[in-house]
Amino acid sequence: MNIIKRLTSLFTVIFGVLLLTFLLIHLVPGDPVDVMLGESANMADREALRADLGLDQPLVNQFGSYLAKLMYGDLGQSIHTQTPIIDLIKVRYPATVKLALLSLLIGIAIGVPLGIFAALKAGHWQDFVVTIVSVRLSAMPAFWLGPVLMLIFAVWLGWLPVSGMDSGTSIILPAVTLGFGLSAILTRMTRTSLLEVLNDDYIRTARAKGLSEQTVILRHALRAALLPIITIVGLQMGSLLAGTVITETIFSWDGVGRLLVESIEKRDYPVTQACVLIIALSYVLVNLATDFLYRIADPRMRYA
């Protein structure tokens, strides 16, 4: 029953997103025919191309025909390059997933240990330093942090490439740029969650039983503090999979976020719709995965 409810909600969200995107991109000024033919084209050529692209049909028909194709997994063709959109997505989406996963890994690797450390040293100077660092990191926008990292690690130290996707190490700087911001959020969240449970009775009991501090923190306290952290990780993973436009642009990383922006600039409606669909699906699936992780982390939810 729960699965049916979930799937219904999934399809409702996807349909809503598709409808909204379709309406919005048709409301925005600009016409793909103008972009393709330029201003000097005569009306006959314009109308012919508009008919060829199906843009002369009423919006309801256009949307209906789009949904019908979608049912068969056909995302359509790019208006500009005449390339099947699925081919574009096949190239761009894995790049975004790769970047998102590594960023998440870096964010967790830095953020969770730092948060635990700050919670254990709450009120001491170490906590103060971690707080300052995490606030600073979260305040650094990607368009600033990215070039700074490039300057240090690529130009001065010569360790990494500035941008592009030419080598295996090209992913490190964009992932670190995204991961730093995420780690700052996770540090704050881990610290706060852990502080809340550290004063609970069961932690006192665990300590009274003579368990080592490491066992108390990692096995008992951290597990209880994990739910809000999972929520944040899920939300951040969703937005990372949506494509981080600025980071992808700065680092010339050919991901789905960059494809989305390019398609909007060119008024390439089918590509825009496909990108939004993929992003919406990613969000919904990540949310499902988050719910699943809740159940693992908190046995009470399995019986709720």
Partner 1 sequence: MKYLRFLLIIYFLQLSACDFASKDTNRDASVHQSTPIHFALSQAPLSLDPRVATDAASERVIRLIYQPLVDFDQNFKPTPKLADWQMVSATEYLVSLKSPRPLFHNQQPLNAEDVKATYDAILQLANSPLSAEYANIQKITVHDAEHLTFYLKQPDPYFAAKLIIGIMPKQLLEQQHDFARYPIGNGPLAFVKKNNKLVLRRVADGQIITLSEVKDPTVRVLKLLRGETDLLQGELPAELVKYLQTKPEVTVKTSPGANYSYLGLNMQDPMLSSLKVRQAIAHAIDRQALIDKVMVNHTRIAGAILPPEHYAGNHSLKAYDYNPQLAKRLLTEAGLSLPVKLIYKTSTDAQRVRIATILQAQMRPAGIELEIRSLDWGTFFEDVKQGNFQLFGLTWVGIKTPEIYTNVFASNHFPPNGFNRGRFSDATLDSLLEKEDWQAATDRIHEQLPYIPLWYEGQFAVSNKKITNYSPKPDGNWDDLATIRKYAH
Per CB under 8 A, residues contacting partner 1 are 28-31, 34-43, 45-46, 48-49, 52, 80-82, 105-106, 108-109, 113, 143, 146-147, 150-151, 153-155, 157-165, 167-169, 172, 218, 249-252, 254, 264-267
- Burial class for 71, CB neighbours closer than 10 Å (0-12, 13-18, 19+): exposed
Tokens found for residue 283: 């969000």
For the chain, how big is the Rg over CA atoms in Å?
24
Least Å from the CB of residue 167 to partner 1: 6
CB nearer to partner 1: give 176 or 286: 176
Amino acid type, 57 = Q
Residue among 298, 216, 284, 238 nearest 16 (CA): 284
Cβ 13 to partner 1, closest distance in Å?
Answer: 27
Tell me how far, at minimum, the Cβ of 160 lies from partner 1, in Å.
5
CB of 214 to partner 1, least distance (A): 10
Contact 193, 225 (CB under 8 A): yes
The nearer residue to partner 1, 24 or 301, going by C-beta atoms, is: 24
Q: How far is the CB of 284 from partner 1 (least distance, A)?
A: 28
The closest of 281, 278, 275, 279 to 262, measured between CA atoms, is 275
Nearer to partner 1, 225 or 284 (CB): 225
Position 81, amino acid: T
* C-beta closer to partner 1: residue 108 or 194: 108
How near is the Cβ of 269 to partner 1 at its closest, in Å? 12
Q: Measure the CA–CA gap between 274 and 130, rounded to whole angstroms.
A: 41
CA distance 103 to 57: 43
Q: Are 255 and 95 in contact (CB under 8 A)?
A: yes
Instruction: CB nearer to partner 1: give 111 or 238.
Output: 111
Which CB, 264 or 289, lies closer to partner 1?
A: 264
Identity of the residue, 254 or 291, whose beta carbon is nearer to partner 1 in the bound complex: 254
The closest of 292, 190, 264 to 29, measured between CA atoms, is 264
| 3-class SS of residue 187 | helix
Q: Minimum Å distance from CB 169 to partner 1?
A: 4
